[in-house]
Homo-oligomer: A and B are copies of this chain.
């Protein structure tokens, strides 16, 4: 301590990890890294050739004691991390669903990281709260939602941005569960839970099952309603009604129906309006999971897939899948926000403030699992603000057109078949059983085709099972994807198929 300043903590130059110049210097290096990555990702093998544990062998086993220049960190990223990445940004990525992205989204996320606000309440982050409300209302307008889902509407509706669809399903399940318990006279207790039943098609993402388990529903009361090719694997409302009616007769309480628009497996679409009509008869909550395909509904030609949405209780859409907004960004809309708050509100003394007490503001902590949260609306707003509706629609249409082109390639080739009609930018196809491929070997042959394609490093696609058959999923959607990449992929598929068929003709045993 210096004698002139008796309580000083010392004059050493302090560690300044957020110094403006230091931040600028590190970020410029990160920008170079990113720019180089996007310029070269096309030439990298989409699936990396690494074995489990590879990274631990290359990096230090323990944190260093002393600081290092930021360049050392970036060099380790280049040398050890990049070679182990599955390149979702590659234009040769056709797997799963895409994680589309854009300059505006990345910049928005960057600014959110830097501002680093914690927006549990309006007062803790007014701009972040209001930006999220506005971004959600904008997206609702793009989707032609009824005003009942908008904060600016006259009702009690609104939205919240969550990390994943799973969380959207979970919080609405909890609200529906508590409402059902209340309706059936269980008071504040949970003794009525074993009687609650929930519904979805057998094509529904398993995160629904997981969310039901987390929320304490009896796994035995989760009804997965069979679907088939007669509805292109969409949920049949008549069957739904029968199952719900049977449950009521057996003493169960129908509580929640999860409809999907664009299932992960094959992009099946459940008829939203008809399902809502059935659910309403039983006072069950209806949620629509439109994680992937919801983004397409900003184009008028796809909007009909959401017809009837004005009668559902909630709907979730993930712009981090197909609306150019990097992870995490999953938008949940509910018709009555107080139904979430009734189940999720907390009011600790240390978060109390005048604005919240006034009831005139949104406190997002009461519409999600956690309390704290990033400035989540910023990147989504920046995407819509920068590109505008026209470019976003163009982006969707471009992907759909490329998928249609691929579908046409498949349809025109005798060796392949389309398994379900294409709704959006996912093409489900497979090599036909015919000639050298016997029916009982077709699944194995298609799996081998997928493995050969993926091992080539020149593309990555994944599979599913539809109607008991092994099917290849070809999803257009990487943000760097152009028509030439889809054409190259198709050439590669044809070439590898040709080789496989040739080998098979000469040595049937390899399959």
Q: Which of A106-114, A271-279, A305-313, A415-423 contacts B (4 or more CB under 8 A)?
A: A106-114
Establish whether residues A264 and B113, one from each chain, have CB atoms under 8 Å apart when the complex forms: no
Does residue A435 face the partner (Cβ distance < 8 Å to B)?
no
- Per-residue interface assignment for chain A, residues 280 to 320, with 1 indicating a CB less than 8 Å from any chain B CB and 0 otherwise: 00000000000000000000000000000000000000001
Q: How many copies does the complex hold?
A: 2
Establish whether residues B134 and A164, one from each chain, have CB atoms under 8 Å apart when the complex forms: no
Q: Which of A233-241, A254-262, A458-466 contacts B (4 or more CB under 8 A)?
A: A458-466
Q: Point out the residues of chain B lying under 8 angstroms from A152, CB to CB.
A: 56, 61
A134 and B80 alpha carbons, distance in the complex (Å): 13
Q: Point out the residues of chain B lying under 8 angstroms from A372, CB to CB.
A: 164-165, 320, 327-328
User: Which single residue of chain B is at the shortest CB-CB distance from A138?
Assistant: B63
Establish whether residues A118 and B96, one from each chain, have CB atoms under 8 Å apart when the complex forms: yes
Establish whether residues A369 and B26, one from each chain, have CB atoms under 8 Å apart when the complex forms: no
A105 and B65 alpha carbons, distance in the complex (Å): 18
Does residue A247 face the partner (Cβ distance < 8 Å to B)?
no
Does residue A480 face the partner (Cβ distance < 8 Å to B)?
yes
Q: Is the interface of A mostly helix, strand, loop or mixed?
A: helix
Within 8 A of B (CB), among A8-63: 8-9, 14-31, 33-39, 47-48, 50, 52-56, 59-63
Contact among B174, B218, B398 with A15 in the assembled complex (CB-CB below 8 Å): B398
> Chain B nearest CB: distance from A22 CB in Å?
5
Q: Point out the residues of chain B lying under 8 angstroms from A214, CB to CB.
A: 170-171, 174, 214-215, 343-344, 369
Knowing A65-B390, A104-B70, A387-B17, say if A54 contacts B85 (CB, 8 Å). Answer: no
Contact among B127, B164, B344 with A55 in the assembled complex (CB-CB below 8 Å): B127
Knowing A34-B27, A107-B29, say if A385 contacts B64 (CB, 8 Å). Answer: yes
Q: Point out the residues of chain B lying under 8 angstroms from A347, CB to CB.
A: 206
Q: List 16 A-B contacts (CB under 8 A).
A: A17-B101, A17-B479, A18-B480, A23-B34, A27-B34, A30-B111, A62-B138, A64-B384, A67-B391, A70-B107, A81-B131, A86-B123, A88-B116, A170-B214, A190-B217, A327-B374
